[in-house]
Amino acid sequence: MNDVENKVSLPLPKLSRKHDWLPSLIWLIPIVAALVGLTLVVKTMTERGPSITISFRTADGLEAGKTKVKFKDVDIGLVQAITLSQDHSHVLVKVQLSKEADSFTATDTRFWVVRPRVAASGVSGLSTLLSGAYIGVDGGSSKERKAEFLGLEVQPIVRQNEAGKQYLLHAADIGSLDIGSPIYFRRIKVGQLAAFDLDEDGKGVTLRIFIEAPYDKLVGANTRFWHASGFDMQVNASGFKLRTQALATVVLGGIAFQSPDDTLGLAAKANTTFDLAADEESALKTPDGRSEIVVMHFNQSLRGLTPGSTVDFRGVVLGEVKSIGIEYDAKHREFNMPVVMQIYPLRLGRKYAEEELHSSFTAKQQLQYMVNRGLRAQLRTGSLLTGQLYVALDFFPKAAPVTIDTSSTPIEIPTIPNGMDEIQSQIAEIAKKLSKVPFDDIAVDLRKTLSTLNHTLLSAEQLTKSLNNDVAPEITAALKDVRLTLGNANRTLSDNAPLQQDIRQTLQELSRTAVSMRVLTDYLERHPEAVIRGRREGNN
């Protein structure tokens, strides 16, 4: 009952019409934040550059969200993600470039990771020790674009915008060269080695070099390149020579170039191929022209003769030794030592080459003519210090006649022993003759002679004793008589001896006689008539 009454006594709610909704000020904050975020998204989308993928062998030093992409130390991108390729052979680095870096998507653009490196060109990337590794860029100039690139493992030596030219060098081997090795012209660094690769046939290497402007004008069609690595040391009759381009080439290697007689010829175009010589001497020498292969058989030891040994004619180098072999002669049951050589006839002079070219005789007939005149090959010692041998060609008029087989290939040139071998042969002959001398018989005869001489000496000793016993007393008596005779002579010749006094008186009388004769002679000269009339009184 009470409950019903209470319910009736409660006031009924009043219904009112709903008014328009107004937002509260607290909602302004998220709205402003949303507008700012939307603006940033729009700005990011509008300023966002292209996205590219770079392939590297390893992601060493790279980190997503931190590693930057720089060009001339200016940030142009950021690494977004790093993933592994499906075959696990490399990594894929996704890079987001800025809008201003759109030109770096050219097809010839190059990317590499900058890390601390020690190479022939020097030490690079030291700044990354503190800041961390980053991706370097070398912008391309192509108008075509792409989104996938193959990253370089090392920093390129030559940039796209550097002034200069690139050339190709072909060599038998790379020697001590490496990427970044310097290139010198008159000992001034003008370029460096950019790249190298092995030839397809595996018989050599091809090197790509870069010569900076304006030094690229010094490369002409007649330019010669050579290895300038280490020391160029020569010991010959002129003395000791030591040459090097720079101290850096001793450790790092290098290349030098020059033109013979400074004659460049036509300017060389980019990517022109040149040969890389082993040294300066071989690079600047006059072209040898065609070569001839000849063989020489030596019947002696070839110790000291090696492939590369010189072949000269009276001091002029005509070629070099190519190979040394050994052959067994079954007919004579002995071993021969064939030496194959490469010679250049043009080194004998242009007049000889012109005569050989216009002559009615073949080259082999001319060689036979020279062999008939005594042309022979001889081994000689090139250095007493090392014992190295070389082959000398010369004319020996007294050499035995030899007929060569001009139809054989290669043609054979006869040889002759050198002076040392002749001396050894003579010594051997003397030894043979000495071995035939009957030294045993001579010894027996010598013993007999000595025995006879001993008897003779004994007889002489006995004779000496006889002389001492028999003849010596007689000689002593004779000496006593001689002394007596000398004593008498001394007494006779002394000043007080009568004989001396008589001699003095006689000499005085002779002196007075001479004076009288002189007076008489003077008087007769004044009075010759006195001889007939005699002396008159009053005449003096």
- 476-496 pLDDT, tens digit per residue, is 776 677 677 766 666 666 666
Whether residue 12 lies inside any domain: the answer is no
Residue with the two structure tokens 């010759």 = 528
More confident of the two residues 242 and 324: 324
My answer on whether 318 and 403 are in the same domain is yes
Give the phi and the psi of residue 504 in degrees, each rounded to 5. -70, -40
My answer on whether 202 and 325 are in the same domain is no
Interstrand relation of 48-56 and 148-150 (parallel, antiparallel or unpaired): parallel
Residue 1: strand, helix, or coil: coil
The CA distance from 137 to 71, in Å, is 5
The CA distance from 33 to 31, in Å, is 5
Whether residue 449 lies inside any domain: the answer is no
The pLDDT score that the predictor gives to residue 328 is 82
Please check the confidence at residue 439 and state whether its pLDDT lies above 70: no
My answer on whether 128 and 184 are in the same domain is no
Residue with the two structure tokens 């890389």 = 276
Whether residue 455 lies inside any domain: the answer is no
Among 198, 204, 116, 121, residue whose Cα is nearest residue 158: 121
The pLDDT score that the predictor gives to residue 459 is 76
> Which of 12-26, 30-44, 182-196, 402-416 has the weakest average pLDDT?
12-26
My answer on whether 107 and 227 are in the same domain is no
Whether residue 10 lies inside any domain: the answer is no
More confident of the two residues 419 and 430: 430
**H or E segment to which residue 510 belongs:** helix 498-526
> Which of 36-45, 163-172, 175-184, 392-401 has the weakest average pLDDT?
36-45
Give the residue from 91, 117, 150 where a domain finishes: 150
The pLDDT score that the predictor gives to residue 238 is 44
CB 264 within 8 A of CB 321: no
Give the residue from 240, 260, 284 where a domain finishes: 284
Whether residue 20 lies inside any domain: the answer is no
* Token code pair at residue 70: 């720089």
The pLDDT score that the predictor gives to residue 93 is 93
My answer on whether 81 and 185 are in the same domain is no
The pLDDT score that the predictor gives to residue 468 is 67
Quick: pLDDT tens for 104-133: 888 989 998 888 765 555 555 556 666 678
Q: In angstroms, what is the C-alpha Rg of the chain? A: 59
Q: Is residue 478 classed exposed, middle or buried when 0-12, 13-18 and 19+ CB atoms within 10 A define those classes?
A: exposed
The most confident of 306-320, 338-352, 501-515, 517-531, by mean pLDDT = 306-320
- Domain of residue 266 covers 164-284
Please check the confidence at residue 516 and state whether its pLDDT lies above 90: no
User: Averaged over 134-161, what is the pLDDT?
Assistant: 85
Whether residue 346 lies inside any domain: the answer is yes
Quick: pLDDT tens for 343-394: 887 777 777 766 666 666 776 777 778 888 888 888 888 776 777 888 888 8
The pLDDT score that the predictor gives to residue 1 is 47
Give the phi and the psi of residue 37 in degrees, each rounded to 5. -65, -40
* Total residues belonging to the chain: 540
The CA distance from 119 to 121, in Å, is 5
| % of the chain exceeding 90 in pLDDT | 11
- Using a cut of 0.75, tell me whether the model's pTM lies above it: no
> Residue 120 gets which letter from DSSP?
T
More confident of the two residues 81 and 10: 81
Q: Is residue 70 classed exposed, middle or buried when 0-12, 13-18 and 19+ CB atoms within 10 A define those classes?
A: middle
Q: Is residue 434 classed exposed, middle or buried when 0-12, 13-18 and 19+ CB atoms within 10 A define those classes?
A: exposed
My answer on whether 193 and 133 are in the same domain is no
Quick: pLDDT tens for 248-282: 555 557 899 998 888 888 889 989 999 998 888 88
CA 100 remoteness from chain centre: 55
* Token code pair at residue 435: 């071995």
Give the residue from 236, 255, 284 where a domain finishes: 284
Residue 72: strand, helix, or coil: coil
My answer on whether 303 and 422 are in the same domain is yes
* Token code pair at residue 178: 């490496």
Whether residue 146 lies inside any domain: the answer is yes
Close Cβ partners of 168 (under 8 Å, ≥ 6 residues apart): 206, 207, 208, 209, 271, 272, 273, 274
The CA distance from 494 to 183, in Å, is 113
Residue with the two structure tokens 């402007």 = 213
Among 6, 137, 146, residue whose Cα is nearest residue 72: 137
- Band of the pLDDT at 95, cuts 50, 70, 90? very high
Quick: pLDDT tens for 177-227: 888 888 999 888 999 888 888 988 888 999 999 999 999 999 998 899 998
**H or E segment to which residue 322 belongs:** strand 316-324
Long-range contacts of 483-490 (CB under 8 A, 24+ apart): none
CB 111 within 8 A of CB 135: yes
Mean pLDDT of all residues belonging to the chain = 77
User: Averaged over 423-447, what is the pLDDT?
Assistant: 70
The pLDDT score that the predictor gives to residue 472 is 63
My answer on whether 132 and 50 are in the same domain is yes
The CA distance from 392 to 419, in Å, is 12
The CA distance from 374 to 396, in Å, is 5
The pLDDT score that the predictor gives to residue 55 is 93
The pLDDT score that the predictor gives to residue 333 is 82
My answer on whether 297 and 378 are in the same domain is yes
My answer on whether 201 and 265 are in the same domain is yes
Quick: pLDDT tens for 440-460: 777 777 777 877 877 777 777
Please check the confidence at residue 237 and state whether its pLDDT lies above 50: no
My answer on whether 132 and 235 are in the same domain is no
- Band of the pLDDT at 236, cuts 50, 70, 90? very low
Q: How many domains does the chain have?
A: 4
DSSP for 373-406?
TTEEEEEEES-TTT--EEEEEEE-TTSPP----T
CB 149 within 8 A of CB 90: no
My answer on whether 206 and 321 are in the same domain is no
The CA distance from 413 to 393, in Å, is 9
> Residue 133 gets which letter from DSSP?
-
Instruction: State the Cα angle at 449 between 446 and 455, rounded to 5°.
Output: 145
Whether residue 237 lies inside any domain: the answer is yes
More confident of the two residues 288 and 420: 288
Output the CA–CA distances (angstroms, integers) from residue 28 to 33, 36, 161, 206, 368, in the order listed: 9, 12, 54, 72, 115
Residue 112: strand, helix, or coil: strand
